[in-house]
Amino acid sequence: MARVSVLGGVGEIGGNKILVEDKDARVMLDFGMSIAQRARFFSDPYVSPRRAESLLSLGIIPSIDGVYSWDTSETKLDAIFLSHAHLDHYGYLSMVHRDVPVHCGETTERLMAAITETKRASFETDYRGLGYKTFRTGASVKVGSITLRPTHVDHSIPGAYGLVVETSTGSFVYTGDLRAHGRASHLTQDFAKAASGSDASLLLTEATNMVGGSVSSEEEVARKLEVVIREARGLVMASFSGMDTDRLTSFHRAAEAADRKLAISMRQAHLISTLDGDGHIDGLPKLAKGNVVIYRRNKKRYEKWEEEISGKAEVITSEDLTAAPKRYVVATTLSDMEGMVGVKPSAGSVYILSSSEPYNEEMELDMQRLIEWLDFYGMPLYHIHVSGHIMPQQLRSLVSGIGAKRVAPIHTEHPELFLKFALERPDVGILPVRNEWIEI
């Protein structure tokens, strides 16, 4: 009998780790960092984990044979399938044995290469030496008695996939993370169609947005950005995910429409360079064209990749922002705010927050710090954002269309709410329990 165990992502947003066993085959779907569980005990940079043993003892990573690089047991893991390149889905690949192949989309492999090159390596963040095997929609990957069929989905990062998993005793569906209101919502429709034809005995679905859903779209975000940026009379500062190429495109188009240049970080520039030539990402700006520039913070020493990326586009500094603030929309983070003291944003400057609202205590503290900085600079805060996750009514339609015999919510803090809202038949729903088996 094939079986599934949810080792992470139960009652929390992210940290997805799903073990599948069938006959002699064992595979994992995602191996993400449980950000919420980790934050219970650690707060970087002051209190950071130093040993994997600590993470095991605290239950932040699961105790499971055949997975970790230090494991000498005879039990083996045959493969890991990565749905997309968000930390809460890939984060703890750093500790996985390098003999275990990691299957992922072609774009995800590029993103992981960019992450590996630009991230400071620690035992939690060292992704060197992982062996990637890539797929695209329509592929069929067989691992022993398990066959996995990936189909692309729309999400707030390119290269995201959902999976139909076929075993010797039936099939099940894993959504990964997805949405139906992005620029590529047709991708999620493709996945829904593939999943509905699978006669699934189980659906493991994300249900992130059961509280705080909104009616919006990426195109609406782009229109709002254009209005705010066009009306600004000074510098425009912005905060958005560096991995969200849709949002990057929205800011780029809005800046162009207002006759400004988008000034991005070196990491964002490196990401664009890595994805250049991918061929499957629409609207990604080109570094060499000059309407995207690199905002380089003053440092005593630059990494090799930083020096290399600085040669691929126009580079500006805080002096350029001071001299001509109306020419730029500059991507920043909270850690950049002190550096803006030298820029002295003029009257009429604005700040655009284009990411999720705080959902834990640490994020609330960071938000308060940001507000204090903006008050100091005299900059109003605009919040212009749309989630990377599917909204409740759209999720209900997706679940109904797939028609699985059993439905289990993961990647949500409100699983009971999902079961009450999203299912036409209450007996179909099950609440997964961490580390317990679900038979297929």
- Give the chain's domains with CATH numbers: 3-212+388-439 (3.60.15.10), 218-383 (3.40.50.10710)
The mean-pLDDT minimum among 37-51, 81-95, 146-160, 239-253 falls in: 37-51
Q: How far apart are CA 291 and CA 256, in angstroms?
A: 7
Q: Which residue has the higher pLDDT, 126 or 298?
A: 126
Could you report the per-residue pLDDT of 277-311, keeping only the tens digit for each?
Answer: 787 888 888 897 778 999 988 878 899 999 999 99
Q: pLDDT exceeding 90 applies to what percent of the chain?
A: 81
What is the pLDDT at residue 359? 66
Mean pLDDT over residues 355-370, rounded? 80
Residue 14's closest CA among 107, 79, 91? 91
pTM comes to: 0.95
Which stretches does DSSP call E strand in 137-214? 141-143, 146-152, 161-167, 170-174, 202-206
Mean pLDDT over residues 394-418, rounded? 97
Q: Which two tokens mark 321? A: 């922002």
Could you report the per-residue pLDDT of 23-71, keeping only the tens digit for each?
Answer: 999 999 999 999 999 999 998 888 899 999 999 999 999 999 999 999 8
What is the pLDDT at residue 337? 85
What is the pLDDT at residue 18? 98
Residue 335: band (very low, low, confident or very high) from pLDDT cuts 50, 70, 90 = confident
- Beta-carbon contacts of 252 under 8 Å, excluding residues fewer than 6 positions away, are 262, 283, 285, 291, 292
Q: How far apart are CA 130 and CA 80, in angstroms?
A: 11
Q: How far is CA 164 from CA 51, 83, 171, 358, in A?
A: 35, 12, 7, 33
Q: How far apart are CA 281 and CA 246, in angstroms?
A: 9
- Count of residues in the chain: 440
Mean pLDDT over residues 171-184, rounded? 97
143, 25 Cβ separation under 8 angstroms: yes
Helix and strand numbers (H, E) in the chain are 13, 20
* Order of all β-strands in the sheet with 381-383: 315-316, 292-295, 261-264, 328-331, 236-240, 350-354, 381-383
Mean pLDDT over residues 376-403, rounded? 96
262, 253 Cβ separation under 8 angstroms: no
Q: How far apart are CA 256 and CA 18, in angstroms?
A: 43
Q: What are phi and psi of 118, to 5 degrees?
A: -100, -10
Q: How far apart are CA 358 and CA 344, in angstroms?
A: 27
What is the pLDDT at residue 397? 97
Could you report the per-residue pLDDT of 225-278, keeping only the tens digit for each?
Answer: 999 999 999 999 999 998 999 999 999 999 999 999 999 999 999 999 999 878
418, 412 Cβ separation under 8 angstroms: yes
The mean-pLDDT minimum among 103-117, 155-169, 225-239, 343-357 falls in: 343-357
SS3 170: strand
DSSP assignment of 203-215: EEEE-TTSSS---
What is the pLDDT at residue 365? 84
400, 195 Cβ separation under 8 angstroms: no
Q: How far apart are CA 38 and CA 44, in angstroms?
A: 10
DSSP assignment of 204-266: EEE-TTSSS-----HHHHHHHHHHHHHH-SS-EEEEE-TT-HHHHHHHHHHHHHTT-EEEE-H
